[in-house]
Structure 1
Amino acid sequence: MTSKCCFKIGFILGLVFVCTNAQEKVFNVLSYGAKADGRTDDSKALLNGWRDACQWNGNGTLLIPSGEYMVNGAIFSGPCNGSAKTFEIKGVIKAPTDPNIFCKLESWISFQYIHFLDIKGHGTFDGQGACAWGKHPCATPLPYTLGLYFINNLIVHDIHSNNSKGVHVNVYKCINAKFRHVQIAAPDNSPNTDGIHIGYSKNIHIADSNIGTGDDCIAIIDGSQNINITGITCGPGHGISIGSLGKVPTQEVVKDIQVKSCTFINTQNGVRIKTWASSIAGMATNITFDDITIINASNPIIIDQHYCPERNCSDSTQESCVQIKDVTFNNIRGSSNSKAAITLNCSASHPCKGIMLNDINLEYHAPDAPAISTCANANGKATGKELPPSCLK
C-alpha cells in the first residue's frame, strides 16, 4: 500500500529519519522457490527476491521466513531504486560445508553499493565453521560470514551469527553504520573468527551486543575513524583490538576511537593496540578506553608494537613506524590472570606519546602477586588509583 514511510538510520550523535511517500512491498523468498529444507541450495531464490526488492521504486523488504535455508553464496548488490531496503531474516541461513564451494568465496553473504540498508529479524547466519577450522581446506583465507562493502547508512540489529568459518562480519568502506543487539558466537579454539572487523570506515557505532569468538571480538584496522563501541560483553576471544597496523602500503590513520562500558570475561586480552614489529609509517591517535570491567584476562591493558605472530616475520630488532599517541585508559577494573596486568611495549623509533592511565584497579591473585606494569618507550602520566603501580614516567 502507499503510505508515508520513515526509515530510521542510526548515527553516532542521534537518529536521522528519511521519509518518503513511497510504496512498501515485501518480497518473500518462498514466492521465489526457496525450499527452506536446510539441504536444497536456495541461493537463487534469495538473489531473485533481492533483485526485485532492489529494483522496487519504494521501500522493499526481502523476507526470509522461519525455516532453514542452505545458501552456497550470495552477493546482494546495489545501487537500488527507491528508498530504504530491508533484509529481514527470521529463519536460519546455513553455509556450505563443501570446500569446493566455500573455498571460492571471500564472503559467504555480502552486501555492497547500497544506500540505506536495514538488516534485522532475530534470525541466524550459521557459518558451519567446524568443517573448516584447523583443516586448511583452502589456499586462501576462509570466507567471512557477512561482508558489508561500500554501504552508506546501515543498521544491523537483532541478528545472530554462529560458527563463522573466518571473520563473522567484515565492514569495509562503510559510512554511518549502527550495530545493536547482535549476538556472535564461535568456540574459543576457532581460528581467525573475529566478531566484527572494521577497516577504512567512518562513523560506526556498535552497542549492546554479546560477542564470543576464537579471535578478536572487535578488530579496528587501518582507515577506521570515529568508531564508538559501548555496552559490549566480550568473551571468549582476544578482546577488543586496534590493529594490526603497519603491514600494508597506502594505509590511512586510525583516529577518534572510543570503547566504553564494556565487559571482558576470560579473554586473552582486554583492550589492545598492536602494530607490526617491522612496519610502514602510520598513526593511531585520539583513542579512549573508558569504564571497562575485565575478568581474568591474560593481558588486560596492552600496547604491543612488536606484534609478530608469523614464523617468518622479521626479528625483534626491527621497530614499528606507526605513531601511537593520545591514548587514554580510564576507570579500568577487574582481574588479571598474569603478573603483567599492564604492558606498554612501544616502538624505540616512534615512542608512544600522550598515554594516560587514570583510576586503574587490576588485581592479580597468585603466589607471585601483586600485579605489575611494564613500559618500554612509553611517555605519559598516571593519575588516581594505580593498581598495579604505573611504570609511566
Structure 2
Amino acid sequence: MNVEDIDGIKIRSVTGSGVVDGNGQDAYDLFAEDSSYQRPTLLYITGGSNIQVSGFRQKNPPNVFNSVNGGSTNVVFSDLELDAASNSDNPPKNTDGFDIGDSTSVTLTNIKVTNDDDCVAFKPGADGVTVTRITCTGSHGLSVGSLGEGSDDTVKNVYVSGATMINSTKAAGIKTYPSGGSHGASTVTNVTWTEITVENCDYAIQIQSCYDEDESYCEEYPGNADLTDVVFNAFSGTTSTTYTPVTGNLDCGANGTCGVTVTDYTVKSPLGAGEVLCANTPSDLGVTCTSGASG
C-alpha cells in the first residue's frame, strides 16, 4: 500500500484486531533463488503529512513492513504488532519493521516487532524521530543507518526510550560506510537510546565504521563518520553467549568524530562480568574500554 502526498489520514482497525497479511512466503522463496527479485514494501508513506497508523497486526511482508520517506511529516505509528515467519527453509529477508528516512516528526509508540532484520532503521534524512515502548524480538536492533553507501547522509534528532530487545544481533547501534571509492560522508547528530532492556542479544551497543567492507579496505580508507551527541544511557540486562564476555563493540572511524557517551550501563555477559570493545573513542566515554573493536 502506498500513501503519497496525503494530508490527514488515519489507517486503523475499528475493532483493534484487524490483520494486514503481506503473504510474503512466495517472495521469501523467490528471493532465495534470485536476490535481484524486487519485492514491495507493505506500507510505504512518501510525502504525506498528519498520518496516523494504529491498532492492528501486520504479518509476513514480502519486504519491509513500513517505510516513511519523501519529506513526510507528522506521522504516528501506535499500538501495532508486526511479525514475519517463513514456512520453508528460506528466511523472511529484509523485513525491517520500520525504515524511517527523509521525514520529520515521526513517532512510534506501543509496538511489538518479531522479524529477522532491523526492528527500526533510522535511514538517511530522518530528522525528529521518537520511539517509546517498543519490544523487538529476533531483529538486527534499533539501528542508525546504514549511512554513506553512495552519498553524503545525515540522521539527526532521534530519541528512543523504553525498549525491550530480545534475541537480537544488537540492541542499538550505528552503521556507517568508510570513506573512499563511491562512499559518501556520514553525519549522526543528537541521537539517544535510553532505558533499554537487553535479553540474549549478541551486542547491547555497537558502532560500525567499516560497514560492508573488508578490513583491508578500511585500513586504506579509515572511517570518517561525524558522530556528535550520541548517547547510550541506562542499558541493562544480559547478552547472549555469541561474543562472551564482550557486551558491546564501539568502533569509531579513525578519521571521524566520535562524540559518544555511555552512561548507567549495567549490561552483563552470561559469565557475569562484561567487556566493551572500543576503538577511537573519547577518554570520557563513560565506560571502561578494552581495545580491539572492529566492524
Taking structure 1 as the reference length, what is the TM-score of the superposition? 0.66
In the alignment, residue 170 of structure 1 is paired with which amino acid?
Answer: S
Q: What does residue 81 of structure 2 align with?
A: 183
Q: What does residue 212 of structure 2 align with?
A: 308
Q: What does residue 341 of structure 1 align with?
A: 247
Q: Which moved more, 1:194-203 or 1:316-325?
A: 316-325
In the alignment, residue 4 of structure 2 is paired with which amino acid?
Answer: Q
Q: Deviations over 1:314-354 (max 9, x none)?
A: 8332223321121111111001112221111011111412x
Distance 2:123 2:168 in 1: 20
Aligned pairs (5 A) from 1:1-393 = 109-121=1-13, 122=16, 123-136=18-31, 139-172=36-69, 173-187=71-85, 189-249=91-151, 251=153, 253-278=154-179, 279-308=183-212, 315-317=217-219, 318-337=221-240, 338-339=243-244, 340-353=246-259, 355-366=260-271, 370-379=273-282, 381-383=284-286, 389-391=288-290
Contact 1:356 1:380 (8 Å CA) reproduced: no
Structure 1 stretches lacking a partner, 5+ long: 1-108
* Counterpart secondary structure, 1:379: coil
Contact 2:42 2:61 (8 Å CA) reproduced: yes
Q: What does residue 88 of structure 1 align with?
A: none
Q: Deviations over 1:228-248 (max 9, x none)?
A: 100000112111100000113
Contact 2:225 2:257 (8 Å CA) reproduced: no
Contact 2:202 2:247 (8 Å CA) reproduced: yes
Alignment length (residue pairs): 274
TM-aligned CA distance change 1:261 to 1:380, over 3 Å: farther
Distance 2:60 2:79 in 1: 18
> Over alpha carbons, which structure has the higher Rg?
1
In the alignment, residue 197 of structure 2 is paired with which amino acid?
Answer: T
* Counterpart secondary structure, 2:25: helix
* Counterpart secondary structure, 1:363: coil
Q: Please report how far the alpha carbon of residue 381 of structure 1 lies from its aligned counterpart in structure 2 after TM superposition.
A: 2.3
* Counterpart secondary structure, 1:306: coil
Distance 2:67 2:238 in 1: 31
Distance 1:323 1:196 in 2: 24
Distance 2:186 2:63 in 1: 27
Distance 2:156 2:141 in 1: 19
Distance 1:335 1:242 in 2: 22
TM-aligned CA distance change 1:391 to 1:327, over 3 Å: farther
Distance 1:247 1:314 in 2: 18
Q: Please report how far the alpha carbon of residue 165 of structure 1 lies from its aligned counterpart in structure 2 after TM superposition.
A: 0.9
Q: What does residue 43 of structure 1 align with?
A: none
Higher share in strand: 1
In the alignment, residue 27 of structure 2 is paired with which amino acid?
Answer: A
Q: Please report how far the alpha carbon of residue 250 of structure 1 lies from its aligned counterpart in structure 2 after TM superposition.
A: 5.2
Contact 1:193 1:214 (8 Å CA) reproduced: yes
Contact 2:171 2:205 (8 Å CA) reproduced: yes
Q: Deviations over 1:200-220 (max 9, x none)?
A: 111011001101111001100
After superposition, the CA RMSD in angstroms is 2.1
* Counterpart secondary structure, 1:132: helix
TM-aligned CA distance change 1:138 to 1:360, over 3 Å: closer
Higher RCO, Cα 8 Å, sep 6+: 2
Contact 2:233 2:263 (8 Å CA) reproduced: yes
Distance 2:79 2:255 in 1: 42
TM-aligned CA distance change 1:391 to 1:257, over 3 Å: farther
* Counterpart secondary structure, 2:284: strand
